[in-house]
Amino acid sequence: MQDAALISYEEAMAWPLSQGANVVGRDSACDLKLLDQRGLSRRHCLIFWEEGEASVSDLGSMNGTLLNGRLLYGWRPLQHGDVLTLGARRFVFRMHAVPHGLRGPDAIAMAVNNPISLDPGLLDCLNVA
């Protein structure tokens, strides 16, 4: 079974995705809880991950969800290396990303040692060039 995660290089953190629906937002009932975040709605977006394939949809958030810098409408497939912007935060979607629960420098070291191919403009927006 493949693993997937959202990686925040800015915060040196990884959020593993579960098989099936993953609601992302500020609400304590969300699967991926991102508390106290500017511009993030209570239920911001939904990432569906199953059998090695992922898709994402905005859940009517106030500020919208950006996929690779473009406002997201409806369901869109997620590819390894795609950048999601949720409020003021940017995440890279990774397959085979990190072992469940790995955080901090170890998570970033693993991500860096398994580099992804990103458009140089996306690297600029992540401040990791």
Interior angle at CA 69, CA 39 and CA 92, nearest 5: 80
Per-residue confidence band for 107, with pLDDT thresholds at 50, 70 and 90:
low
Count the Cβ atoms, other than its own, within 10 Å of residue 107.
Answer: 24
Q: What is this structure's pTM?
A: 0.75
Closest CA to 7 of 126, 120, 93: 93
Question: Tell me: the pLDDT tens digits for 9-29?
Answer: 777 788 889 999 999 999 999
3-state secondary structure of 48: strand
Residue 121's pLDDT band (cuts 50, 70, 90):
very low
Interacting residues of 107 by C-beta distance below 8 A, sequence separation 6+: 7, 12, 13, 14, 98
